[in-house]
Amino acid sequence: QSALTQPASVSGSPGQSITISCTGTSSDIALFNYVSWYQQHPGTAPKLLIFDVNKRPSGGSYRFSGSKSGSAASLAISGLQAEDEADYYCSSYSSGNSWLFGGGTRLTVL
């Protein structure tokens, strides 16, 4: 039961779009459409951005979108803003009634 794989860091300039990848296996991302994405600012709890691969919670920003292909998922952020600078985590339900998280990606807005 290994963690999902994310890049350690990504960066972009205000107004640009970026994508964060999340790689899993045939036992998690590939098998279930239960991929979520969370945003975490320093010293705060994670905040749900995307669930069920590509659904936004009520009141969620349309600048965040999710997708999945095979055992990999992605989070896209459009129109980067300074407040988007944070850590981003993917998560997936996994075989055996368990959940996996990615190692996290630090987004820097240049």
Partner 1 sequence: QVQLRESGPGLLKPSETLSLTCTVSGSSITSGQYWGWIRQPPGKGLEWIGGIYPTETPYYKPSLKSRLTISVGASKKQFSLRLRSVTAADTAVYYCAKNEHNTFDIWGQGTMVVVSS
Q: Which residues bind partner 1 (CB under 8 A)?
A: 1, 3, 32, 34, 36, 38, 44-48, 51-52, 57, 89, 91, 93, 96-104
Q: Which is nearer to partner 1, 18 or 53 (CB)?
A: 53
In the complex, minimum distance from the CB of residue 48 to partner 1, in angstroms, rounded to a whole number: 5
Q: Which is nearer to partner 1, 5 or 78 (CB)?
A: 5
Q: Give the C-alpha separation, 85 to 22, whole Å.
A: 18
Q: How far apart are CA 71 and CA 80, in angstroms?
A: 27
**Beta carbon of residue 74, minimum distance to partner 1 (angstroms, whole number):** 17
Instruction: Write the DSSP string, 38-90.
Output: EEE-TTS--EEEEBTTTBPPTT--TTEEEEEETTEEEEEE-S--GGG-EEEEE
**Least distance between partner 1 and beta carbon 31 (Å):** 12
